[in-house]
Amino acid sequence: MKNRIFECCVNELSRLPGIGKKTAARLALHILKTDIEQVRALSASLIELKEKTVFCKICGNMSETEVCHICTDDYRNRTQLCVVEEAKDIFVLEATGFYRGLYHVLGGRISPLDGIGPDDLSIDKLIQRATSDEVAEVIIATNPDIEGETTAIYLSKLLHKLNLNVTKIASGVPIGSNLEYTDELTLLKAMEQRKDF
Amino acid sequence: MKNRIFECCVNELSRLPGIGKKTAARLALHILKTDIEQVRALSASLIELKEKTVFCKICGNMSETEVCHICTDDYRNRTQLCVVEEAKDIFVLEATGFYRGLYHVLGGRISPLDGIGPDDLSIDKLIQRATSDEVAEVIIATNPDIEGETTAIYLSKLLHKLNLNVTKIASGVPIGSNLEYTDELTLLKAMEQRKDF
């Protein structure tokens, strides 16, 4: 009889993104060497995350409450609305600590190859929020790839028609990188979007 | 209020080896998008692994039973004993499907810097097993680094004194690699241990 429990655990772990069979085996072996209390804590936190997290009914951010902590925060700047593809993008933008406005999660991006059109995204709700009196600027922060750019252009046309002030986060050479190893498209964008210095 | 549950889950996940905060956040976001049934399965398999896995009382391999499936397998070659540092090494060696003998887990390697000497390893038991009438060859498969080599030399001296036939897995250029990118020590070993062809 082989070690069925171990293989079952490796199988479950390798369903996670970026975790292959080898990494899964390494993680499972680590679990074996860990205190049972710590394994219980990890295990419970996964279930709790899934069971108790909902998506904010205003912006689409993940939240423990019906409306998320950003939407309910009185200290946030309610004149700015930052549009992102997924809730996880809020997580990385918040980590910078720079932006103090509100967010709007599209729930994806326009991608005809995957059968995702504008109707599949939370665009009506975005328009509704953006056209309220409070909002002065819509910042588009979709990913700088083909689908993200397509989505950005689509939204910008739509929002401009409504006479809204639309901006988009800068594309350019990442900080700490090297011009020599930067791809041509990024360099092209960086040159095009050069600033007074 | 921040998303405490999410951060708690990210913290728990980032305790795993090779999982940093960013990867942990990616995994947690994946969990959020996964069916609750699948999350339950993963969660339960971690607990089950930890609760139901023991180490084989003969060889030290991880097992669901007191004696592991390799030690109890009548089709394994009982004249060969392969010595490894950790139970996880059995996992990778078994994946090759080549070796059909038995194993012995040392439970570490001689590492004076970490305060680990021969007495901390399962060496007495190895000698006891290796000197039984059945065993004709002891194959040393410690890692080819300083501590692993030290352990291999120590074991080989000990086993040779007992007039046992000791071998060691080959070191050399990995298959699929390129001589140009192979380090000098590996090339030196590969040249030293060259074979008739």
CB B141 within 8 A of CB B156: no
Instruction: Assess B151–A contact: CB distance below 8 Å, yes or no.
Output: no
pLDDT of residue A103: 96
How many A×B Cβ pairs under 8 Å? 145
A2 pLDDT higher than 70: no
SS3 B179: helix
pLDDT of residue A190: 83
Instruction: Assess B4–A contact: CB distance below 8 Å, yes or no.
Output: yes
Instruction: Assess A88–B contact: CB distance below 8 Å, yes or no.
Output: yes
Q: What is the pLDDT of residues A130-189, one digit of tens each?
A: 998 889 999 999 998 899 999 999 999 999 999 899 999 988 888 888 888 888 888 888
- Mean pLDDT of all residues in B50-59: 92
Choice between A47 and B195, residue whose per-residue pLDDT is larger: A47
Q: How near does any CA of chain B get to the CA of A192, in Å?
A: 31
CA-to-CA distance for A170 and A167, rounded, in angstroms? 9
Beta carbons of B88 and A26 less than 8 Å apart? yes
**SS in 3 state form for A52-102?**
HCEECCCCCCEECCCCCCCCCCCCCEEEEEEEECCHHHHHHHHHHCCCCEE
Measuring CA to CA, which residue among A50, A87, A51 is closest to residue A70? A87
Residues of chain A contacting B44 with CB distance shorter than 8 Å: 43
Let me know the angle formed at the C-alpha of A141 by A137 and A143, rounded to the nearest 5 degrees. Answer: 160
- Mean pLDDT of all residues in B50-58: 92
| Domains defined along chain B, listed by start | 4-52 (1.10.8.420), 76-168 (3.40.1360.10)
B-chain residue closest to A8, CA distance: B45
CA-to-CA distance for A139 and A81, rounded, in angstroms? 6
Kindly tell me the sign of the dihedral angle through the C-alpha atoms of A85, A90, A95, A100.
Answer: positive
C-alpha distance from residue A156 to each of A113, B16, B19, B123 (Å) = 21, 42, 38, 71
Q: How near does any CA of chain A get to the CA of B9, in Å?
A: 5
B176 exposed, middle or buried (CB, 10 Å; 0-12, 13-18, 19+)?
exposed
pLDDT of residue A117: 93
CA-to-CA distance for B41 and B53, rounded, in angstroms? 17
Instruction: Assess A33–B contact: CB distance below 8 Å, yes or no.
Output: no
Contacts of A181 (CB under 8 A, 6+ apart): none
CA-to-CA distance for A93 and A34, rounded, in angstroms? 33
Kindly tell me the sign of the dihedral angle through the C-alpha atoms of A157, A162, A163, A166.
Answer: negative
Beta carbons of A23 and B18 less than 8 Å apart? yes
Instruction: Assess A52–B contact: CB distance below 8 Å, yes or no.
Output: yes
Q: What is the pLDDT of residues B96-127, one digit of tens each?
A: 889 999 999 999 999 999 899 999 999 999 99
A38 pLDDT higher than 90: yes
Measuring CA to CA, which residue among B128, B40, B140, B142 is closest to residue B81? B140
Let me know the angle formed at the C-alpha of B99 by B98 and B104, rounded to the nearest 5 degrees. Answer: 150
Measuring CA to CA, which residue among A4, A51, A55, A119 is closest to residue B49? A4
- Mean pLDDT of all residues in A106-121: 93
Strands of A101-105's sheet in order across: A101-105, A77-84, A137-140, A166-168
- Mean pLDDT of all residues in B70-97: 91
Both ends of chain B: CA-CA distance in Å?
70
C-alpha distance from residue B197 to each of A164, B168, B194 (Å) = 76, 20, 9
Q: Best residue in B30, B33, B48, B49 to probe A by mutation, most A CBs within 10 Å?
A: B49
Measuring CA to CA, which residue among B43, B44, B68 is closest to residue B58? B68
Measuring CA to CA, which residue among A31, A173, A35, A46 is closest to residue B5? A46
Q: Which amino acid is at A166?
A: V
H-assigned helices in chain B = 4-13, 21-33, 36-52, 87-96, 123-130, 146-161, 184-192
pLDDT of residue B2: 67
Q: Is the entire prediction scored with pTM above 0.90?
A: no
Least confidently predicted of A95-99, B11-15, B38-42, B150-154: A95-99
Backbone angles phi, psi at A135, to 5 degrees: -75, 125
